[in-house]
Structure 1
Amino acid sequence: MELRQLQYFVKVARKQHVTQAAEEMHVAQSAVSRQIHLLEEELGVSLFVQKGRNLHLTSVGQLFLSRVEGILTDLERAVGEIHEFLDPEAGEIRIGFPHSLVIHLLPSVIAAFKKDHPNVKFRLRQGTYNSLIRDVSKGELDLAFISPFPESHDYVTGEILLTEELFAILPPNHILADYNSIRLQQLKDDSFVMFSEEYTLRSIVMEACVKAGFTPKIEFEGEETDTIRGLVAAGMGVSLLPSMALMEGGIMQPAKIRVTDPQVTRTVGLIRRNEQKLPLVADVFRRFLFDYFQILK
């Protein structure tokens, strides 16, 4: 069974006429008739029945048509995806990101890229540290921003894009709210507002507190930077957040204080599947990110 036979079959089924189908495909009528005949011989059934001047599908022909149309649609989509894979000015980039990067960084990066690549589409997926690594490993994402950057991994590889400072955030009426900088140990008696356990920012803050000589008392937990920031601004406790998560303004804002002892940072990196060739458009975006973050530095 040949692809050409299936294409001829579908065209005749739609036109209900061999001559009209042949004219539209710019081939000889005899060639179309012969291929349909060979297809019916191979299947061992009649796909068409003559009614007047037109050809009508038999019941088995109707069943076969529904299957063949799906096959040809999938094939056409696959060919299109290959063309997009090889075209740096088209196609789609599947990219993942943690919540803490969505407020400012991701929209800015995509907007800057699309100025020179307006036809590129993005499919975005938010996730946690583990889910982003999993989705890149399985090939469900081309690229993912991640923090902290994994130093080594069996299934993903990538590069660090930036190192970002974490600031203490305090209720506006906190005794330390007007300080320019503090030592983290000065917050040992305060209640903390923390991310849930599946978020890596929690482990970064916990490790910093232990390094400062205390275990934080966790009063509230949340899953979004807006929630953490809002609870702190409302006086529910203190916390640490990366600088990018504190760029957006609002009515209720906590005090933002630099932590000098220890200085708390996180790495932000870009990962891709190990030993997997990226679609060309995704690789163009990856190289664009290197230049973009060098400019920011």
Structure 2
Amino acid sequence: MELRQLQYFVKVAKKQHVTQAAEELHVAQSAVSRQIHQLEEELGVSLFVQKGRNLQLTSVGKLFLSRMETILLDLERAVTEVREFLDPEAGEIRIGFPHSLGIYLLPTVVASFRKSHPNVKFRLRQGTYNSLIRDVMKGEIDLAFISPFPDNHDHVSGHLLLQEELYAIVPQGHELAEQGTIRLEQLKDDSFVMFSEEYSLRSIVLEACDKAGFVPQIGFEGEETDTIRGLVAAGMGVSLLPEMALTEISQLQPAKVRVTDPKVTRSIGLIQRAGDRLPPVAERFQSYLVHFFSDT
């Protein structure tokens, strides 16, 4: 069994198509088909079945894929660790983040770190709360910024970095736009522009509204802070957004008002796979972040 066969198998399983897999691998289609056939002969089982123009994994093929993905990821990490051991300043950090932290926080800390480590590369992956935890657990990324920070989790661990305040945002002509502070209850009759259900900020806002004694009327839903901010500025409703998501100035700019009752915050942390040893360069970045936020 050769490494090339396993790599070709995983690629075909992901694409469900030999031609597309061959194109991404930059090899002939016949070479991919031949390696898959040899792998099936050596294992004595069929890994794929033809369904229309696509290939689908058999039940044993699905089992084999789950094992091979883990093995190939571990192999990739082993090669990376060896390269970093030879040149620890030229490694790669695979890091995930939610969209709301990609506007200001992530660029700030990456740029700061690279001032003293200019040859370190970053592979970035944006995701939702659940997808980031899943990617860390599967070993597809080394670290992930996440909010809210999971205090107790069986499969990930990490560091709480900071607590960030959420502000109410309202259209510029809103009756509360000029207020210094408000009670969240004062927005109970307004239509809310809310994050979609898979986003953790939605649950934070819903919980805050519940503490304030009302269920928000949801008029619009969105998946990015820029969209929500723009809809509010255009008069489509009100919302709550983290302070970092309101640093950028745009043509459509809502009014920002502090909420004091209840005060709404979110925790932001950095996670890794529990019990796992990070690659040296990722461990260095993790240590840098912990000190960066403790000093800020």
Normalised by the length of structure 2, the TM-score is 0.73
Q: Please name the residue that 1:141 is paired with.
A: 141
Q: Please name the residue that 2:295 is paired with.
A: 295
- 1:88 and 1:284 in contact (8 A); partners too: no
- 1:96 and 1:125 in contact (8 A); partners too: yes
Note the aligned Cα RMSD (angstroms).
1.8
1:145-184 equivalences under 5 Å are: 145-184=145-184
Aligned-partner SS, 1:150: coil
Q: Does 1:247 align with 2:241?
A: no
Tell me the alpha carbon deviations over residues 231-287 of structure 1, each in whole angstroms, 9 at most, x when there is no partner.
Answer: 000000000000000001111100000000000000000000000000000000000
Q: Please name the residue that 1:81 is paired with.
A: 80
- 1:191 and 1:217 in contact (8 A); partners too: yes
Q: Please name the residue that 1:260 is paired with.
A: 260
Aligned-partner SS, 1:179: coil
Q: Please name the residue that 2:118 is paired with.
A: 118
Q: Does 1:219 align with 2:227?
A: no
Aligned-partner SS, 2:80: helix
Question: How far 1:83 moved relative to its partner?
Answer: 2.3
Question: How far 1:77 moved relative to its partner?
Answer: 7.7
Max Rg structure? 1
Change (3 A) 1:171 1:156: same
Q: 2:195 is matched by which residue type in structure 1?
A: F
- 1:230 and 1:252 in contact (8 A); partners too: yes
Tell me the alpha carbon deviations over residues 184-212 of structure 1, each in whole angstroms, 9 at most, x when there is no partner.
Answer: 00000000000000000000000000100
> 1 CA distance for matches of 2:136 and 2:77?
21
> 1 CA distance for matches of 2:206 and 2:195?
10
- 1:129 and 1:147 in contact (8 A); partners too: yes
Question: How far 1:88 moved relative to its partner?
Answer: 3.2
| Identity within the alignment, % | 67
Change (3 A) 1:77 1:267: closer
Q: Does 1:192 align with 2:192?
A: yes
> 1 CA distance for matches of 2:225 and 2:116?
31
Tell me the alpha carbon deviations over residues 94-128 of structure 1, each in whole angstroms, 9 at most, x when there is no partner.
Answer: 00000000111111110000000011000000000
Question: How far 1:89 moved relative to its partner?
Answer: 1.2
- 2:183 and 2:262 in contact (8 A); partners too: yes
Aligned-partner SS, 1:119: coil
Change (3 A) 1:142 1:176: same
Aligned-partner SS, 2:135: helix
Change (3 A) 1:158 1:77: closer
> 1 CA distance for matches of 2:92 and 2:160?
23
Aligned-partner SS, 1:227: helix
Q: Which runs of 5+ in 1 are unaligned?
A: 1-62, 68-75
> 1 CA distance for matches of 2:220 and 2:121?
38
Question: How far 1:148 moved relative to its partner?
Answer: 0.1
Change (3 A) 1:255 1:277: same
> 1 CA distance for matches of 2:78 and 2:196?
43
> 1 CA distance for matches of 2:105 and 2:218?
28
- 1:166 and 1:243 in contact (8 A); partners too: yes
- 1:97 and 1:126 in contact (8 A); partners too: yes
Change (3 A) 1:202 1:79: closer
> 2 CA distance for matches of 1:171 and 1:246?
14
Q: Please name the residue that 1:273 is paired with.
A: 273
Q: 2:112 is matched by which residue type in structure 1?
A: A
Normalised by the length of structure 1, the TM-score is 0.73
Aligned-partner SS, 1:90: coil
Question: How far 1:85 moved relative to its partner?
Answer: 4.0
Q: Please name the residue that 1:27 is paired with.
A: none
Question: How far 1:79 moved relative to its partner?
Answer: 7.1
Question: How far 1:78 moved relative to its partner?
Answer: 7.7
- 1:84 and 1:92 in contact (8 A); partners too: no
> 2 CA distance for matches of 1:291 and 1:77?
29
Q: 2:134 is matched by which residue type in structure 1?
A: R
Aligned-partner SS, 2:83: helix
Q: Please name the residue that 1:101 is paired with.
A: 101
Question: How far 1:81 moved relative to its partner?
Answer: 2.0
